[in-house]
Structure 1
Amino acid sequence: MDALAKRLQARLAELDSGHDARTEASGTVDLDQARTGRLTRMDALQQQAMAQASNRRAQLEKQRIRGALQRIESGEYGYCLRCEEPIGVGRLEADPSVTFCIECARAED
């Protein structure tokens, strides 16, 4: 359990350290037509959209990690939020922030 908590905390710190770069890349794109060509502007807009999507994914992952850390603290970690059965150790090792056992995750899809 301690090893999984440390992995979660390390990943959270990693996501927090990359926050500034993701935020800067997802900012407003300068579309000065006199300085940049059409393809360059399109590329800049595409890069902005990709950075914004990356930022959203990072925020969702941070929420999942914080939830897992709270469940560890409260003693509820490792149990499926739907059926309340234990989540397999291998599944938790693959992704320590999972909230459903494999059966419930399959049913969710």
Structure 2
Amino acid sequence: MSAVHHIAFLKFKPGTPEVKAAEIISELGRLPRLIGGIRDFSIGANNSPQGLNQGYTHAFTMIFESAAARDAYLVHPAHLAFERLALPHVAAVAVVDYSPE
């Protein structure tokens, strides 16, 4: 089985309190401990000097053991609860999944 790299870019809504953004990031960081099949996870604020982030403020990467593990994550109750917490405060999100060639 081939690993799946899941990359997401987030843009918080204007006026989202820093404490709420920090809570969302913290809850996202808990998901690998709650959901099986995630090999690796990282998150961070954009710090690129290129100015090509198109307004996205944060990015995160999850590496799943397989496409089946990614698919299970997408419908897992912990992921769905995270979405209910985060999405009201997110202005935009972009997601790309790929398996390294």
Bigger proportion of residues as strand:
2
Compare relative contact order (CA 8 Å, sep 6+) and give the higher one, 1 or 2.
2
Bigger proportion of residues as helix:
1
**Could you state the TM-score of these two structures normalised by the residue count of structure 2?**
0.29
